Structure 1
């Protein structure tokens, strides 16, 4: 990317080393992949963790949820804190926390120990994620180069969900569940060292963090995520779930009221002033509700209905991962040529088709051709329908609020994924209950019902694409 220029006033690392965009891109992409991997990589090793650390049936889901809850709750605050106090500082601190917590989690000797490590992992990921996105925005200032860098970053975010299942299956089969956490250490330590050397030091703003906004945003998002997570296992009639959702909604309303008066808001209104960016934020929420369900429910089908092992289950997602990665190279060109409306609309049509195809699963369905065809459609659909949204949101955002924009993007994405899984898991549970005489058939029926609901969510994202401006994306240059 020889056409990349650095933001005036920025410098790389200590001293006066020249900025090296390729090194910056490699560091940020590898860290993004690490962060996203840990959202899904633990799915296939949960049975082994339960046996080794004596988790209870109700405690085991918190191996996933402790990370998700902390990650989602702190994203918005961490992104804005990077704008105010230094993006490199927040990013490096986040990677340090994430790596140290990964080592501690791999050494865990009890359930409580592992859960505490997962909480710290989530906090570190929340500090690093939005500031990595903001640093990309800072370093890549030439429009075409910025679109390519953001497309790569968005691709890593999407591919990471699939790669997490593949990597989890491989490590679980060969090395055991602790390797899933230990693998972050030899990847995280070099990233920390190289970040100090190559990442730019951006000018700090003389400002104060909006503390009331930070408290209400963090509390509101955390309460909503907790309510969604609990609803997935206890049903929507659960009192604690309802109270958490009400409290979360109330705190978000208070947060929005506070932001209207704040001199330096945590969520600047300028983020939603552009029509395409506002539509993209909406589609991030709805689209990821639908798309990410495929990884969870198809993994459940392959292992619990079809009886496949963790390694073969992980490898089943290889076509999806490969196609998502292939889309990374195409998305910038397609956005320049056709604009966001045509590209995302095509992707959403493919995503709906793939999810509808998965509603045809039966206990005897083989991987070929149905599951393979659905994986191909969903890989292409996610690549075209959802990956461009990060580019649309970040490409033209004002530099001073890039961290806030990245934090909002990842918060909306994470909340959408969590809500989607809560809704679909509830549908699954209602189908399975009362059919103990035929457990596989009941589970298959619940999974196909979940895919039908996910197809409806994807159809809503398709409707959202009609709101994009027809003109070519301004950020494509």
Structure 2
């Protein structure tokens, strides 16, 4: 790695672009390959959800710790660590011979992503502090973020059908190696920016363990009833661990992951509650629609990936529209409109039928849900950091990213379990369709609750006057 005086802004930008594309791609590339992964490694219907849970819980649970570690130990060092771990975990996942090995590899990927994502974004912020270069750099970052998410399902489908499901894991290896080579040549070693106490590792482990056990308790209800001693004990232990996390955050002598007083801000609490529910609904929708297209309609993986493109493009269009409407409408208004549109799209998905088709059952809801989802992405970030002290803006925006990942795992656990129980033991296209339709309808209900939270918790506020400084600031993404 270069010394700070030898840093090359172009190579730093290239490194961050590859990193963001890789992380964004990995959030969606696995979804289309899930049926083939289940068949290849022998996952049960409920066990398959852990391919998603393992990554989301590790990523979301450790994201704040990753950001604080980057500040304390040096962004360049943490970036290299995250890239190395992410690449090795992807290789291990592609070589997995059983469900446990793949789930462990996905969890390791999440740990790597939690380290490299905030470090990469912090490096970009430090390398391009102001001016047109900063706007251009974050424009590249945003484009890579959108491109990774948009093409993840397409790439996953093509690789699964024409190579093997293992390539949805292997595809990250060359990207991680490329980013490592670029980082060693062009990223400044830099100095730690934080001189406070050590990061709260115990708190991060407690939060991740508590959420993992909570999800485990939910998904095990396919074997143990909700009222069984096993389920009740598991959930009680999970709640106890999460309570211990809150205690540690209040009393730790180290630097806490998050100051709990942040939640006294209605905007922070409301935006994170909204984001958690949206993450729960959208992750479940991706999961159910992917399985519906392949297991009910009999669509191949490659064509399934193509069929997800209208949704991805609608998200991009919604994001662009949010910028234009942001000059006239307050963020809360955009969040409410976006949430209602997303919920309407998911309700449309809930009408899927065993004899349906892409054009009649999937295309319309995809465009409506995708556009609504894109419409509320940027405004919810604005709301989550409104009224927060400048020194805590990074923590508040990192918390928002964590809430989406944790919401994704919790939502998939609850909705996936409900869908599986509704399907029953006899799995035919008809019973599978009924289960997926129930899960998607429940997702629409979650969006309705999210909109109610936005209306009642978030304060109405007028859009602030636009200045050159605020326009430059609003182009910047939230720090992970």
TM-score by shorter chain over 0.5: yes
User: Is it true that 1:163 corresponds to 2:151 in the alignment?
Assistant: yes
Q: Gapped runs of 5+ residues in structure 1?
A: 1-11
- The one of 254, 263, 286 equivalent to 1:295 is 286
Counterparts of 2:68 and 2:287, CA distance in 1 = 31
Partner of 2:119: 131
- The one of 43, 47, 51 equivalent to 2:31 is 43
List per-residue Cα deviations over 1:204-256 (Å, max 9, x = no partner).
32222234434433332333343345457766456555434322322222222
Counterparts of 1:54 and 1:149, CA distance in 2 = 44
User: Is it true that 1:33 corresponds to 2:21 in the alignment?
Assistant: yes
The alignment yields a C-alpha RMSD, in angstroms, of 3.5
Q: Using a 3 Å threshold, how does the CA distance of structure 1 residues 352 and 328 change in structure 2: closer, same or farther?
A: closer
- The one of 429, 433, 451 equivalent to 2:424 is 433
Q: Using a 3 Å threshold, how does the CA distance of structure 1 residues 144 and 424 change in structure 2: closer, same or farther?
A: farther
Q: Give runs of aligned pairs for residues 108-123 of structure 1, distance below 5 A.
A: 108-109=96-97, 113-123=101-111
- Give the aligned length: 463
Q: Using a 3 Å threshold, how does the CA distance of structure 1 residues 122 and 236 change in structure 2: closer, same or farther?
A: farther
Q: Using a 3 Å threshold, how does the CA distance of structure 1 residues 431 and 107 change in structure 2: closer, same or farther?
A: closer
Counterparts of 2:433 and 2:187, CA distance in 1 = 48
Partner of 2:476: none
Q: Gapped runs of 5+ residues in structure 2?
A: 474-480
Counterparts of 2:99 and 2:244, CA distance in 1 = 36
Partner of 1:363: 354
List per-residue Cα deviations over 1:48-80 (Å, max 9, x = no partner).
445555667776554444333433432232233
Partner of 2:239: 249
The more displaced of 169-178 and 245-254 is 245-254
Counterparts of 1:294 and 1:110, CA distance in 2 = 26
Q: Give runs of aligned pairs for residues 244-393 of structure 1, distance below 5 A.
A: 244-262=234-252, 264-269=255-260, 271-272=262-263, 274-393=265-384
Partner of 1:446: 435
Partner of 2:175: 187
User: Is it true that 1:216 corresponds to 2:187 in the alignment?
Assistant: no
Counterparts of 1:349 and 1:441, CA distance in 2 = 29
The more displaced of 292-301 and 186-195 is 186-195
Match of 2:247, SS?
helix
Partner of 1:8: none
State whether residues 72 and 221 of structure 1, in contact with CA within 8 Å, keep that contact through their aligned partners in structure 2.
no
Partner of 1:408: 399
List per-residue Cα deviations over 1:374-396 (Å, max 9, x = no partner).
11011101101234323544698
Q: Give runs of aligned pairs for residues 43-82 of structure 1, distance below 5 A.
A: 43-50=31-38, 52-53=40-41, 61-82=49-70
Counterparts of 1:47 and 1:18, CA distance in 2 = 45
Q: TM-score, normalising length from structure 1? A: 0.83
State whether residues 60 and 406 of structure 2, in contact with CA within 8 Å, keep that contact through their aligned partners in structure 1.
yes
Q: Using a 3 Å threshold, how does the CA distance of structure 1 residues 248 and 410 change in structure 2: closer, same or farther?
A: farther
State whether residues 62 and 114 of structure 2, in contact with CA within 8 Å, keep that contact through their aligned partners in structure 1.
yes
Counterparts of 2:385 and 2:366, CA distance in 1 = 28
